[in-house]
Chains A and B, each alone.
Chain A
Amino acid sequence: MSAAPDKQARRDRGIAALLWYGTWAASACIAIGMALGLVPSSGGGQGMGLYGYRFVQAGVALFILLPVARVALMLAIFLRERDYAYTAISAFVLLIIAAGVVSGLH
């Protein structure tokens, strides 16, 4: 019982790290894209310019993927801990998210 909080703390720190660095990466992408958009020169175009737009788009996509990656990480952790009930629960959540994306493609 005494080892449980330690294991939990280690697992929680891993998830925290993923979300923290992922947030930084996505934010940096958006910030770079916005900064590229501020550089005028190309003129007349629709605001951000193509490169800027692509960076912002990548940042937005990264943000959407981040919670999905978090669930995938939890699935991996539960699997390593041989906690099959929670592995199945995590897989089910991923499946629901995938169903939404697939429905959007049609």
Chain B
Amino acid sequence: MEASVIFWLFAAAFGASALGGVLGMASGIFIVPILTLLFGVDIHVAIGASIISVIACSCGSAGPFLKGRLTNVRLAIVLETATTLGALTGVFLIGIVSTGFLYGLFAAILALSAQQMLARRREAAQAGTPDAASWATALRLHSSFPDRALGREVHYQVGRVPLGLSLMYGAGLISALLGIGSGVLKIPAMDAALRLPIKVSSATSNFMIGVTAAASAGAYFVRGDIDIGIAGPVALGSVAGALLGARLLLGLPADKLRIFFVIVLALLAVQMLLSALGVSIPGGPA
């Protein structure tokens, strides 16, 4: 591979990852379209490279969230049982399903996520006394985080864990199939089922993405399905971009972040639907 191609892979990953970091989602959702449309890379190679960059982004940006005590570590490991099981299922399925189906699935997931984000614009977090009989209480998941804007500790309850686990299984499955972090599925799942404060759900989702992606990436790596020459520069660019994006995220207001989230998801959904239907994008490779 030429040095200029390696540079552009790095640069594209950097840009995509900085944007993804601002949105609180892994850059895989941008990496796959960039690699297939701009670089003419095979979709399976793109998925393999993307899943590495997804891990890199998650690990590289986890620090500030953990130090700010925004990440609910207990909740993360509980939900990771479901996301990794989903990823394992995806590893078995990826050899069976067709590429067109994957694109269509991608579009459907994006549209669903955009719709969910649009429908729920307010904080879903619950206050009050925890339900003593709930899974969340038994697993000691209720927690608190220091809200810098309010200048005090905010306590929150964790909602329906069984529903959260089933949604997370789906998120893990999609993550392995499409090479994305599935932040677009994890964050709505955390809002709708678990009813977490937005900052907690973003931080915890980001934290889980690395382990979820590692479950499928480990299998793809030993299979030899990961193109090192593409995955390397993309991962490096992604880390650099994620560090920049994570810094921006901590200062951004949640409302504006959500509106931006919806617009990007809708645009990506249209683009993926076109790909599923076999419509070529002008300027892309023939």
B122 adjacent to chain A (CB < 8 Å)? no
- How many chain B residues touch A (CB < 8 A): the figure is 54
User: Which residues of chain A in 18-57 are interfacial with respect to chain B, using CB atoms and an 8 Å cutoff?
Assistant: 19-20, 22-23, 26-27, 30-31, 33-34, 37-38, 46-48, 53, 56-57
Q: Which residues of A contact B229 (CB under 8 A)?
A: 47-48, 53, 56
B87 within 8 A of A: yes
Closest Cβ of chain A: how far from B23's Cβ, in Å? 20
Which residues on B sit within 8 Å (CB–CB) of A79?
none
Q: With the chains together, A30 CA to B56 CA distance in Å?
A: 12
In the assembled complex, the Cα of A27 lies from the Cα of B10 at a distance in Å of: 12
CB distance from B42 to the nearest CB of A (A): 17
Q: Residues of B contacting A8 with CB < 8 Å?
A: 69, 73, 143
B92 proximity list for chain A (CB < 8 A): 103
Q: A60-B52, A93-B80, A93-B84 known; A101 and B73 CB under 8 Å?
A: no
Q: Does B66 lie within 8 Å of A16, measured CB to CB?
A: yes
A8-B69, A9-B69, A67-B58 known; 4 other A-B pairs, CB under 8 Å? A19-B62, A65-B214, A70-B211, A74-B73
Residues of chain A contacted by B220 (CB below 8 angstroms): 104
B63 sits at the interface (CB 8 A): yes
Return A8 CB to nearest CB of chain B, in Å. 7
Interface of A is mostly: helix
- List B199-250 residues whose CB lies under 8 Å from chain A: 210-211, 213-223, 226, 228-229, 231-233, 235-236, 239
Of listed A38, A66, A100, residue having the most chain B CB within 10 A: A100
Chain A residue with Cβ nearest B91: A100
When chains A and B are docked, how far (Å) is the Cα of A99 from the Cα of B219? 9
CB of B67 within 8 A of CB of A30, answer no
Q: How far is the CB of A38 from chain B (nearest CB, A)?
A: 5
List, sorted by A's number, 12 A–B pairs whose CB atoms are closer than 8 Å: A12-B71, A15-B62, A15-B66, A30-B232, A56-B228, A64-B217, A64-B221, A70-B210, A86-B74, A93-B84, A100-B87, A104-B222
CB within 8 A of A34: which of B67, B69, B236? B236
Task: Tell me if A57 and B91 are in contact (CB < 8 A).
Answer: no
Q: Given contacts A13-B67, A19-B63, are A64 and B214 in contact (CB under 8 A)?
A: yes
A105 interface hit (Cβ, 8 Å): yes
Instruction: Evaluate contact between B56 and A23: CB separation under 8 angstroms.
Output: yes
**Which of these, B78, B214, B222, contacts A67 with CB under 8 Å?**
B214
The answer to the question of B126 belonging to the interface, with a C-beta cut-off of 8 Å to chain A, is no
Q: Is the CB of A5 within 8 A of B211?
A: no
Q: 1/0 contact trace for B244-266 toward A, CB 8 Å?
A: 00000000000000000000000
- Residues of chain B within 8 A (CB-CB) of A30 are 232-233, 235-236
Q: Whole-angstrom distance between the alpha carbons of A35 and B226 in the complex?
A: 20
A103 touching B211 by the CB < 8 A rule?
Answer: no
Please provide the chain A residues from 54 to 78 with a CB less than 8 Å away from any CB of chain B in the complex: 56-57, 59-61, 63-68, 70-71, 74
Q: Of A46, A48, A103, which one neighbours B91 at CB under 8 angstroms?
A: A103
Q: Is B3 interfacial (CB-CB < 8 Å)?
A: yes
B102 at the interface (CB under 8 A from A): no
A89, B76: Cα distance in complex, Å: 11
Contact with A along B176-220 (1 / 0, CB 8 A): 000000000000000000000000000000000011011111111
> With A27-B239, A60-B226, A101-B219 in contact, is A47–B1 under 8 Å at CB?
yes
The complex places the Cα of A13 from the Cα of B219 at a distance, in Å, of: 29
The answer to whether B214 touches A68, judged by C-beta atoms less than 8 angstroms apart, is yes
